[in-house]
Chain A
Amino acid sequence: MEAEMQAFVDSLRHNLTAEDVVNLEACMNCKMCGEACAWYLVTGDEKLHPTHKTGLIRQIYRRYMTLEGQIGGALGLVPTPTLADLKENMQYFWACTACGRCTLACPSGISIRRIVRLARAAYADSGLSYANPTIRSIIENTDRRRHSFGLTAAQVLGRVGLFLRSEGLEAPVNVQNAEFLFVCPAAGNTKIPDYGIKLIKILNAAGVSYTISPYVIDTGTEIDHIAVHHKLSKQMLEDWEQEADRLGVQKILLVECGCDTRTLYAEASETLGRPFRYPIVSVDALMLDLIKQGRLPIEKTHLKVTLHDPCYATRLSGLGDLFRELLNLVTDNFIEMTPNREYNYCCNGGAGGMRLPENTATRRKISVLKANQIRATGADFVTSPCVVCTLSLEDTCQTYQLSPSGDRMALVLFEVVYAAMEPALAKLGELDRMRVPAVLRNRDHEFFIAHSVEGQMMRLMQQPDFPELLDWLEQDDIVKRFSKDHPQVYDDIRALREMVMNCENCD
């Protein structure tokens, strides 16, 4: 057996639980799971059928991990999957979002998702998934930079700092003994940091005691769900815990990311081999409490909005009721899409669906189901408590021209909360509440500079590579998007550049 094949089998053997044995053994190959899989339903491609993926793993299991398979294989009576089979079929394990919908159509309730995760982990452990440039980059970036998109802390904080500066806002960094540690998943701080500042405004307005870490800039979502690299995933979770230890926070704030929700709800226990050490609070549960306690004033919006349940947060973590309760508090025009909750169709973006560019054409094609769902509601907006879902939904809305004006139609759920909060604050004359976080209020200048994003920016300016950071910001697509509503952002970059040059001249 080739070394990679051996490593693949060893990985399966190592990660297989008793429940997985049942998932592999109990499947009767009835193919009914295909009725739930958007990837198969729309394309009709047998290779995208859930059983095509599980079939290969089942063959490997039977051939190399069972007595009769080893005897039968030696006699040529049992098919022997080869390394070439693994390589040929690798793409299909990522042409799947591991959304778990197929389990709902399985007469035995088998978790096909777990088999897909086992396979992805085996591809990672055998080194075979490195052949895919995106997966390779996720693994290498996580390993070297602890950020799956490869951004540095300077880039993440620099960009957020630029946006906050443009809006005259602040966020707390590196504050000891705050209640919450707020770590944003890589997809959030890479793809939607401009939308994300609305969440900072919400936390500031409600007086939440939170802090951002200057070191931990990713939650490990992609390494856990796309690459399924258990070793690195464990390291990311441990980094998170150690940073919480260092900062002396009480709790972890779980932001609106479906994969993070699932990781912290269930997967982390298995990855760490023990429970995650810190209390985990979903930001949606927090916002709900803040509204109920009157700490977050709201005025119901009239936005005609429908909710997309993220597979990982609703189907796989059971938070559907929470999202609805929150949505019903902040809008008076919420329309359910059909099917919904755990039966909702996947947005097809998560766990690699959107991240792998080779999936784009297929993903857009199969998103016709999601487009049909949204269109049927007649809603003006679709919201989801998940970064990647929102990005994928926006892509679907644009692809199928659901928004007649071509304007943005997909909102992260906290944006809907923000839309309800801002007018309420304006009515109270308390818009300033959004500007400064609770932990930075009534502090001296020294503390403020040491623990604010602005202070971080000042420290970055003293770094020799700050001009490169400014170059990167000038070229950045997110900054470009942000500049549509904030044209002064490029002036801010220029001003920063001049300040640095002046400092150099002073030296």
Chain B
Amino acid sequence: MIELLNIVAPVAMAIFIVGVGLRLGRFTWALVTKRRFRGVSPTFESPPPRMGVIPALYAVLFGPFNHFYKRANPVWGRGYLFYHVAIITEVIGYTISALIVFAHIIVGRPVPDVSLHLAESFNYSPANLLAIIFGNGEHLQANFLFGEFGSLFIGVTWIAVGFAVVGNLHLMVALVRKWSGAVVGDIDRAAQGIRTPGRYAWDRIVVRTIIFCIIWTELFARLHLVPGIVYLHALLGLTLFVLLPFTYLFHMVYNFLAVFYAVRRRMARTIA
């Protein structure tokens, strides 16, 4: 597994970087070349008051759940909410961990060796680095990464794992029962009794299954139930990295921009 990771990791990261570069490059290119005057007309008298950034952000992030998913598709809605709380926490954790690890490498300081359970080593192999980053919820790695805050980090990420387990189970159920994108409950009184079918999309099934496995390998790694499973966890994580630019997963990157624009429109009261 370690050897495999050492071979796969650079390739996966190259694909990831090229893919992300291509897709984000299009936005950057448009941003540079498509500059034109836009926005609310400054000559519009008595315009509606601008919405504050916090209410606008809340409306964009929680409006869909509060006004639609909660009633129309509660299983998917809860899953969406729980899972995203988890995944955002986890991704932030992984990002911080990666930055810390690379900072250590840049200044030539030792890092733990996960396979040998050593607190200090100069094992800068991809497999080891991935095991540190993706295994940041384990004591050895957490203590190296966060020092005295290691326990706090583990505690926080345990909550995230809990959310991930619950959220992902909801989403899996929704997917398997063909409730993805479906209306299975009354949206409101006006739309009482309206039901629409969901779908069974292969890309969702594949990605969701990978994520399902990632969550459980994380859980097993934290509980020390299967030795070395952190490497499988890292390999699955890498798989997602490879898939990210070419599947719906890319919303993880573009959503920040989409939310930015959505919030800006909300603040201006234009919404769409």
Contact indicator B37/A376 (Cβ below 8 Å):
no
Chain B contacts for A277, CB-based, 8 A: 43
Check if A30 is an interface residue, CB within 8 A of chain B: yes
Check if A449 is an interface residue, CB within 8 A of chain B: no
B235 vs chain A, min Cβ distance (A) = 24
Chain A, residue nearest B27 (CB): A21
Contact pick for A103, options B30, B198, B262, CB 8 Å: B262
Contact indicator A104/B64 (Cβ below 8 Å):
yes
Give the size of the chain B interface in residues (CB under 8 angstroms).
Answer: 62
Check if A281 is an interface residue, CB within 8 A of chain B: yes
User: Contacts A281-B46, A316-B272; is A369 near B190 (CB within 8 Å)?
Assistant: yes
Chain A contacts for B199, CB-based, 8 A: 31
A372 to B268, CA, bound (A): 31
A67 to B29, CA, bound (A): 13
Number of A-B contacts (CB under 8 A): 201
Contact pick for B48, options A111, A278, A318, A373, CB 8 Å: A318
B200 vs chain A, min Cβ distance (A) = 12
B31 vs chain A, min Cβ distance (A) = 4
User: Contacts A25-B250, A111-B265, A339-B67; is A35 near B72 (CB within 8 Å)?
Assistant: yes
B-contacting 9-mer, from A12-20, A163-171, A208-216: A12-20
A249 to B269, CA, bound (A): 28
What string of 1s and 0s marks CB contacts (under 8 Å) between B250-264 and chain A?
A: 110011011101110
Q: Which residues of B63-77 have CB atoms within 8 Å of chain A's CB atoms?
A: 63-64, 67-69, 72-73
Chain B, residue nearest A337 (CB): B190
Contact pick for A264, options B37, B41, B197, B255, CB 8 Å: B41
Chain B contacts for A113, CB-based, 8 A: 272
A29 to B197, CA, bound (A): 15
Chain A contacts for B227, CB-based, 8 A: none
Chain B contacts for A279, CB-based, 8 A: 43-45
Contact pick for B190, options A21, A274, A275, A373, CB 8 Å: A373
Chain A contacts for B191, CB-based, 8 A: 41, 369, 372
Contact pick for A109, options B43, B72, B188, B261, CB 8 Å: B261
Contact indicator A66/B41 (Cβ below 8 Å):
no
Chain A, residue nearest B24 (CB): A25
Check if A273 is an interface residue, CB within 8 A of chain B: yes
Contact pick for B37, options A26, A275, A278, CB 8 Å: A275
A-contacting 9-mer, from B92-100, B144-152, B179-187: B179-187
Contact indicator A269/B38 (Cβ below 8 Å):
yes
Contact indicator A372/B189 (Cβ below 8 Å):
yes
Chain A, residue nearest B67 (CB): A343
Check if B60 is an interface residue, CB within 8 A of chain A: yes
Chain B contacts for A281, CB-based, 8 A: 45-46
Contact indicator B41/A21 (Cβ below 8 Å):
no
Contact indicator B23/A108 (Cβ below 8 Å):
no
19 residue pairs of the A-B complex, CB under 8 angstroms, read: A17-B34, A18-B34, A25-B26, A26-B255, A32-B68, A32-B73, A35-B72, A41-B196, A66-B22, A103-B262, A114-B272, A265-B270, A272-B37, A274-B37, A275-B41, A277-B43, A278-B43, A320-B48, A376-B189
